[in-house]
Each structure stands twice: as C-alpha cells, then as structure tokens.
Amino acid sequence: MARLLVELAERADSDALVRGNRGHGPLESLVGGSVASRLLQLAPYPVILVPFRPPNGTSPADSDPAGGSLQEPRGA
C-alpha cells in the first residue's frame, strides 16, 4: 500500500504526502508493518502523519477512522 501511495503522489507531482494514522500497537506493527512507517522510508518528500483521535469514551479499535463509532450507542 505504501509503495502505491508514493507512486500515485509522484504521478500527481506532489510536494508532500498527508495521511491519517490510527497508531496501531507494537505487536500489529511488528507482524504486519505499518503503512505510515513504510511511507516515511519510501517517500522522497515530506510525509505528514495526522493522528486519529477516537470519540471520547471509545478506543481506537472501536472507532471508524471516517469519524463514526463502531460501538452500539449507549442505552440501546
């Protein structure tokens, strides 16, 4: 995925790449690697990582990076 993002950014003649980052734990990074860390290695230009912040009272695993929560509403 990281290589594809770099290729697309190069085709678009980008000056920088901005990407959201959910901040997976060390085990997930060790097993599958991190797209964000791979972007930092591959991109020939600045990479800006924007941290994902889940809604209050939820964990990152329970949240949708698009902004919604994947949990059932409280009291439902």
33 in a domain, yes or no?
yes
Q: Give how many domains the chain has, as a whole number.
A: 1
8 in a domain, yes or no?
yes
27 in a domain, yes or no?
yes
Q: How confident is the model at residue 73 (pLDDT cuts 50, 70, 90)?
A: very low
Distance (Å, whole) CA 69 – CA 55: 7
Residue pair 19/47 in contact by the 8 Å Cβ criterion: yes
Q: Domain of 41?
A: 2-53
DSSP state, residue 60: G
Q: Has residue 72 got a pLDDT over 50?
A: no
Record the pTM. Answer: 0.56
28 in a domain, yes or no?
yes
Distance (Å, whole) CA 64 – CA 43: 26
CB atoms closer than 10 angstroms to residue 26: 8
